Amino acid sequence: MLNFSDRLFDTIKKKNSVLVAGIDTSIENIPDYFIKKYYDKDKNETENLKYILFEYNRRIIDAIEENIVGVKFQAAFFEQYSYHGVEVLHKLILYAKNKKLIVIFDGKRNDISSSAKGYSNAYIGETVVFDKKIKFFDCDAITVNPYIGEDGIKPFVEDCERYKKGLFVLVKTSNPSSKDFQDLSIDSKYLFEKVAEKVHEWGAGCKGKYGYSDIGAVVGATQPDAAKLVRSILPDSFLLIPGVGVQGGKVEDLKYFLDKNKLGIIVNSSRDIIYAYKNHIHSDFEKSSFIASKNLKESINNAIA
């Protein structure tokens, strides 16, 4: 089995794209005409919820798949609907995997030792049930929060090595208040630089044939100056870059995130793709999402060429 970084690299080359679609869908943002068409009065609310949430996201994935390398499922937008939403999440993960898309679970999970291992088992590893090993979500990669330290990250790193999966560690996030902690100075370095150094250390033992580590970093598109520092520390890691578009990140700043080969990034866009219909690109939401993803893919490619 190929390392995660190799699968990601191959997919980028095959698709000529570094674009990842963030699936952050709430029912209230699904077009009214779609809900009216598929809402069944003979079913209860949760049955309608599950069907409509799955069907909308499935159609988005179908519409944009040629323009993206993968999908990033944001846990909160499914967990808000309790186990009904988690059921839909599981179905969508399987659907995306069957389309050979890279699947990233964006749950920013972490806890100490055995609890972290439980999260890792669920999303990128295996869980033992009655002496049988079962892969439940079986995502390609997961986002994690490093605040607890190495003992909370180690179970994920071990499963990345064991199952050839990927990890994206929060290093410098796109939100304005990231500076509250991430920009604190420690030994003449920013805290996010210290975290990046740890990411480099954790990823040293799981590199693929192309030389990239399976342990990468999340660096917000709104942080180009920080990206230069992070890239100098992580020359062989993929950077997952959220924040382009609605959050204020600029496509033209992506050049600061690239490695020496003008590679090593994947760029996430959520609302600009899944709710593209709100910008009146096209009356049909699927065509709107296709056009938005195609335009963004081309815009990114031009900016990083």
What does the pLDDT read at residue 247?
Answer: 81
The β-bridge partners of 218 are: 170, 240
Report, as residue numbers or ranges, the catalytic residues.
108
- Among 216, 26, 204, 196, CA closest to 102: 216
- pLDDT (tens digit, 9 = 90+) per residue, 63-95? 999 999 999 999 999 999 999 999 999 999 999
Written as one letter, the residue type at 95 is Y
Among residues 95, 67, 58, the alpha carbon closest in space to that of 272 is found at 67
Torsion, Cα 52 30 144 94, to 10 degrees, reads: 30
Closest residue by Cα to residue 285 from 36, 34, 38: 34
**Cα–Cα dist 52/38, whole Å:** 7
- Encode pLDDT of 18-64 as tens digits: 999 999 999 999 999 999 999 999 999 999 999 999 999 999 999 99
**Hey, how many other C-beta atoms are within 10 angstroms of the C-beta on 78?**
25
Strand partners, 106: 74
Give the torsion sign (CA, 72, 75, 80, 81).
Answer: positive
User: Structure pTM?
Assistant: 0.97
Average the pLDDT over 270-299 and give the result.
93
**Residue 76 is encoded by which pair of tokens?**
């909160």
Q: What is the pLDDT of residue 142?
A: 98
Structural domains for the chain? 4-304 (3.20.20.70)
